[in-house]
Structure 1
Amino acid sequence: MEQPHQPMSPKPVVISSTTSHPLTNDPSLQSTWSHRAWVAAGCTTVIVSLAKCISQATIMQVSFEPVFAAWLGYMLADLGSGVYHWAIDNYGDESTPVFGPQIEAFQGHHKCPRAITRRQFANNLHILARGVTLTVLPIVLVFNDSKLLGFVGVCSGCIMFSQQFHAWAHRTKSRLPPLVVALQDVGVLVSRSQHAAHHRPPYNSNYCILSGVWNEFLDRHKVFVMLEKIVYSKLGVRPRS
């Protein structure tokens, strides 16, 4: 006698970070020991740079110049985050040398913006931390100028943590630490409302993800539109946005 057909139990599915509802147990969102090691190295590099800056400034009895250099580092980091974000949002693909993985990740981020809030800390920062360690650590070890160290320490630290600031801009206010909310509200970190504008059509504004202080200037003066025209006139490549 033929046995009735028994339906097979469904296999568990892990939804990737590029779909609309990523799961927290997605391996691509979890930190590895390699990620943690690079973030530890990057943080150590920044701390050593700032510690040497303070030490040298104390020895030389200077105060204004290192502070001003640190402020310039903060401002340049925000501008750099916008230019870099614009570039990988609009040009290249996953096969692009060196930058391919980040281009693919940012394209996935546009498909599922809140996936970044489910990334573990070191997973989110390790690429930038590796870049900071490899480029900044030699400078920190060789030079003793307090102005240079202040600039490099703050700029590299802000660049490394920009992805965390970016993640906070995607979280709801109720799930953020009060200090983070306060820093967003006063403009030290990019606000949730300002960054939300980047994720609305036509997706071609508010590229800066550190403090967002440059966004109004860049968008009002159509800086990226002009850059896109230059790229198109020289290379014949249209921006994705």
Structure 2
Amino acid sequence: MELKQRSASQTLNQESNWPITTFAHRARLAAGCATLLFSIAKSLVLTTAAPRAWLESMLAATVAYFTADLVTGIYHWAIDNYGSAQTPIFGSQIVGFQGHHHRPSQLAKPPVAYNVHIAAAAVTAVVTPINLLCSDPVFLLFVGVFAGCVMFSQQFHAWAHTPKGRLPTLVAMLQDAGIILRRADHAAHHRPPFNNSYCIVSGVWNRVLDRSKFFVALEVVVATALGHEPRSWSDTISDWSEKSGTN
């Protein structure tokens, strides 16, 4: 009887496409948040002892915020256009991001822990040694803000696919202010020619990168140097478009 109930529950989850958040997902999110808070708190404590570092720290935080948007854009472009399920380490993310174009609204369904647990684990592994060994408040704040933006970028992306009426009030305010990715700004990424608007923290870099043909130039370099053409060159529009019945 128990096996039948489990089977029915699994079938229901598969049919509704609702991912299950596990204890491991929540633990990774908690560890990532603790790591970020430690980095920022240590920076603030050290800055208190060196008041002249306040201006430098605020500048570092601003640079980190803009840098994170750029880095997430490059990463998003790479996994949208290259690799497959067989790619070591990144295979599951590549499948997820490339498949996301067929069912974009589904990204809004999973809880925060499910969306960010992979990035949270990476943040914990990379930032913890820095927190323990570094005593530079400016660098610590840069790391904390940069890592935080990167860690939550996929959630910002998810909120950009969430109807405004379903967003928490604070999130809607941050979107309206352009501090995190706006729904309208990200919509261009899901329209032909499907090769722009890759940045997913605030999207502030998208206009600059798209107008300068930055990613097109990068694709030419990769194709010339490595012989790998991006999906955006060869796949048809239907390969990138939303599929009916997948929401």
TM-score for the superposition, normalised by structure 2 = 0.87
1:210 corresponding residue in structure 2: 201
- Output aligned runs, 1:54-133, within 5 Å: 54-62=44-52, 63-133=54-124
1:199 corresponding residue in structure 2: 190
1:34 corresponding residue in structure 2: 24
1:162 corresponding residue in structure 2: 153
* Alpha carbons 1:31, 1:121 under 8 Å: kept: no
**Which SS does the other structure have where 2:228 is aligned?**
coil
Match status 1:23 vs 2:22: no
Unaligned runs of 5+ in 1: 1-10, 17-21
How far apart, CA to CA, are the structure 2 residues paired with 1:31 and 1:144?
A: 36
What amino acid is the match of 2:16? L
Equivalent residues, number: 223
What amino acid is the match of 1:32? T
Larger Rg: 1
Unaligned runs of 5+ in 2: 1-7, 233-247
Of residues 78-87 and 183-192 in structure 1, the stretch that sits farther from structure 2 once superposed is 183-192
What amino acid is the match of 2:153? S
How far apart, CA to CA, are the structure 1 residues paired with 2:181 and 2:175?
A: 6
Identity of aligned residues (%): 51
**Which SS does the other structure have where 2:203 is aligned?**
coil
How far apart, CA to CA, are the structure 2 residues paired with 1:182 and 1:222?
A: 31
Task: Measure how far apart 1:183 and its partner are.
Answer: 1.2
Higher helix share: 2
**Which SS does the other structure have where 2:49 is aligned?**
helix
What amino acid is the match of 1:187? G
1:221 corresponding residue in structure 2: 212
Among 176, 184, 187, the alignment partner of 1:185 is 176
* Alpha carbons 1:189, 1:212 under 8 Å: kept: yes
Task: Measure how far apart 1:178 and its partner are.
Answer: 2.1
Task: Measure how far apart 1:15 and its partner are.
Answer: 6.8
**Which SS does the other structure have where 2:83 is aligned?**
coil
Kindly report the root-mean-square deviation, in angstroms, between the aligned alpha carbons of the 2 structures.
1.4
How far apart, CA to CA, are the structure 1 residues paired with 2:108 and 2:45?
A: 37
Task: Measure how far apart 1:80 and its partner are.
Answer: 0.4
TM-score for the superposition, normalised by structure 1 = 0.89
Deviation digits for residues 131-186 of structure 1 (CA, Å, limit 9, x no counterpart): 00000110011111110011000000111111111110001111112221121112
Of residues 170-179 and 41-50 in structure 1, the stretch that sits farther from structure 2 once superposed is 170-179
Deviation digits for residues 31-83 of structure 1 (CA, Å, limit 9, x no counterpart): 11111111111000000000011101111113100111111111111000000
**Which SS does the other structure have where 1:111 is aligned?**
coil
How far apart, CA to CA, are the structure 2 residues paired with 1:15 and 1:52?
A: 42
What amino acid is the match of 1:149? L
**Which SS does the other structure have where 2:73 is aligned?**
helix
Identify if the C-alpha distance between structure 1 residues 55 and 81 changes in structure 2 by more than 3 Å, giving closer, same or farther. Answer: same
How far apart, CA to CA, are the structure 2 residues paired with 1:178 and 1:203?
A: 30
Deviation digits for residues 108-130 of structure 1 (CA, Å, limit 9, x no counterpart): 21111111111122111100000
